[in-house]
């Protein structure tokens, strides 16, 4: 999905590609308990479509980095951005285990929690992210010209 994700990011911009990729992942995460109760085939199909949405993440991030980060800083900033994927996995695994052990919840609540967080992230993303510095209404001309 990285090649189609890259093409989508080029055509529609990193903001929209990443935003809708994460939103679709969040919605499919919310639907995971329902699909699991239906059948293994439902769950496999849902996870397949969730993966399609997730597959746009890295190409869209690269598109945004190319627009926002000067070439001399892309390696360092890109490393920080992509490290977030691994840090998020560790944090979410810890949080999931903690919630299951110390609350009265069951496994579906973990999917609901992260699905809701993904939807909230999308809403914030819509208001806070811009495809490039030229389209951002709140940064100065000096910031736009930074190389």
30-74 pLDDT, tens per residue? 999 999 999 999 999 999 999 999 999 999 999 999 999 999 999
User: Contact, 42 vs 35, CB < 8 A?
Assistant: yes
pTM of the model: 0.89
**Domain around 118:** 2-146
Give the pLDDT band (50/70/90) at residue 1: low
| Closest to 48 measured CA to CA, from 58, 37, 59, 40 | 40
pLDDT reading at 134 higher than 80: yes
C-beta of residue 111 within 8 angstroms of C-beta of residue 29: yes
| Number of domains forming the structure of the chain | 1
């Amino acid at each position: 999905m990285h090649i189609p994700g890259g093409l989508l990011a080029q055509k529609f911009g990193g903001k929209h590609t990443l935003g809708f990729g994460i939103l679709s992942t969040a919605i499919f995460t919310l639907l995971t308990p329902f699909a699991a109760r239906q059948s293994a085939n439902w769950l496999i199909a849902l996870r397949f479509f969730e993966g399609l949405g997730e597959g746009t993440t890295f190409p869209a991030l690269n598109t945004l980095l190319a627009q926002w980060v000067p070439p001399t800083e892309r390696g360092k900033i890109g490393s920080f951005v992509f490290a977030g994927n691994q840090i998020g996995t560790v944090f979410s695994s810890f949080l999931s285990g903690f919630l299951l052990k110390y609350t009265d919840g069951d496994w579906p609540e973990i999917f609901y929690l992260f699905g809701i967080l993904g939807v909230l992230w999308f809403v914030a993303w819509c208001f806070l992210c811009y495809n490039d510095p030229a389209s951002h209404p709140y940064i100065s001309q000096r910031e736009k010209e930074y190389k």
